[in-house]
Amino acid sequence: MAPPATPGASPIAVSTIADAELSYKAACAALDKKHLDEARVHFLSAINKNPSQVKYYETLCNAAKQNPGLIDLDELLTIVRVGTFQVNHANTLKMHQMAGELEKGTQLAVSSTSVPAAGQLIQQLQSDFAIEKMVEKGTTNQLPMCAKRLELLDMIEATDQNQINLDEERRRTAAAASYIEIRDSLKVIKQNVTALLEAKSSEDMPLLNAMLQAASGLIAQSAAVDYSLLPAACRKGMAEDAQFVQEKELAYNKLLSEPVLEKILALNPDDVQITPKNGEQYGAFTKKILARQKIIEEITKLLPKLQHDTDSFRQAQDVVAAFSAEISDLVEKRYMAYQDYVINEILKKVFDDYEDDGWVTDDNAIEYLKRMEYIKITHLTPETLALYQDVLSKLLDQLPASKKVKSEKDIATCPNKHDLINE
Whether 55 is in a domain gets the answer no
The answer to whether residue 258 is domain-embedded is no
The residues, any chain, with a CB within 8 Å of residue 316's CB and separated by 6 or more, are 261, 264, 299, 302, 303, 306
Supply the DSSP symbol for 3: P
Task: Identify whether 24 is part of a domain.
Answer: no
Contacts of 281 (CB under 8 A, 6+ apart): 421, 422
What's the farthest any 2 CA atoms get from each other in the chain? 139
83 contacts: CB under 8 Å, gap ≥ 6: 47, 51, 57, 95
The confidence score (pLDDT) of residue 351 equals: 74
Mean pLDDT calculated for residue range 159-165:
76
- What are the CA-CA distances from residue 89 to residues 69, 131, 353 (Å)? 31, 21, 95
- Other CB atoms within a 10 A radius of the CB of residue 349 amount to 13
Give the pLDDT confidence score for residue 76 in this predicted structure: 87
In a domain, 411, yes or no: yes
Distances (CA, A) of 397 to 283, 355, 360, 401: 34, 17, 12, 9
Residue ranges making up the domain that contains 290: 267-423
Q: What pLDDT is attached to residue 110? A: 42
In 3D space, the residue among 158, 181, 182, 156 whose CA is nearest the CA of residue 169 turns out to be: 156
Specify if 237 maps to a domain.
no
Q: Report which of 23, 98, 28, 31 is spatially closest to residue 70, judged by C-alpha positions.
A: 31
Residue 109 CA, distance from chain mean position? 52
Strand partners, 375: 418
How far is Cα 276 from Cα 279, in angstroms, rounded to an integer? 6
What pLDDT score was predicted for residue 75?
82
> Where does the pLDDT of residue 11 fall: very low under 50, low under 70, confident under 90, or very high at 90 and above?
low
- Indicate whether 10 pLDDT > 60: no
pLDDT at 2 over 60: no
Query: Could you give phi then psi for residue 162, rounded to 5 degrees?
Result: -70, 150
Among the listed ranges 69-78, 303-312, 327-336, which one has the minimum average pLDDT value? Answer: 69-78
In a domain, 178, yes or no: no
Residue 401 forms beta bridges with which residues? Answer: none
Question: Per the structure, how many domains does the chain have?
Answer: 1
pLDDT digits (tens, 9 = 90+) for 205-262: 888 888 898 889 889 988 988 999 999 999 999 999 999 999 999 999 998 899 999 9
Q: What is the band of 423 on the pLDDT scale with cuts at 50, 70, 90?
A: low
Distance of alpha carbon 191 from alpha carbon 188, whole angstroms: 5
Looking at residue 6, what is its pLDDT? 39
339 domain residue, yes or no: yes
pLDDT digits (tens, 9 = 90+) for 73-83: 888 888 888 88
Bridge partners (DSSP) listed for residue 418 = 375
Give the residue, 397 or 114, on which the prediction is more confident: 397
pLDDT at 356: 61
- pLDDT value at residue 365: 79
Quote the CA–CA distance of 415 and 140 in Å, as a whole number.
84
* 108-120 tens-digit pLDDT: 434 434 556 778 8
The chain-wide mean pLDDT, for the chain, equals: 84
More confident residue, 284 or 416: 284
pLDDT digits (tens, 9 = 90+) for 333-391: 999 988 998 888 888 877 777 666 666 566 777 888 888 888 888 889 999 999 888 88
Tell me how far CA of residue 231 lies from CA of 131, 144, 169, 180, 205, in angstroms.
8, 20, 14, 13, 37
CA distance 122 to 162: 8
pTM for this one?
Answer: 0.57
Q: What's the pLDDT tens digit per position in 54-109?
A: 999 999 999 998 898 888 888 888 888 888 878 877 777 788 888 878 877 665 43
pLDDT of residue 236: 93
Query: Is the distance from CB of 7 to CB of 221 less than 8 angstroms?
Result: yes
User: Of how many residues is the chain composed?
Assistant: 423
Please report the sign of the dihedral spanned by the C-alpha atoms of residue 148, residue 153, residue 155, residue 156.
Answer: positive
| Alpha-carbon span 344 to 34, nearest angstrom | 104
Q: Is residue 275 part of a domain?
A: yes
CA distances from 277 to 240, 274, 286, 376, 413 (A): 60, 9, 13, 20, 22
Segment 393-411 shows an average pLDDT of 85
Per-residue pLDDT at 7:
38
Q: Is 375 helix (H, G, I), strand (E, B) or coil?
A: strand
Whether residue 368 contacts residue 410, with contact meaning beta carbons closer than 8 Å, is answered with no
| DSSP structure class, residue 266 | T
Instruction: Give the span between the Cα atoms of 358 and 241, in whole angstroms.
Output: 91
Give, for 222, the enclosing helix (H) or strand (E).
helix 205-222
Q: List all residues 6 or more positions away from 313 whose beta carbon is below 8 Å from its beta carbon.
A: 257, 303, 306, 307
Instruction: Give the pLDDT score at 8.
Output: 44
Report the 10 Å Cβ neighbour count for 19: 15
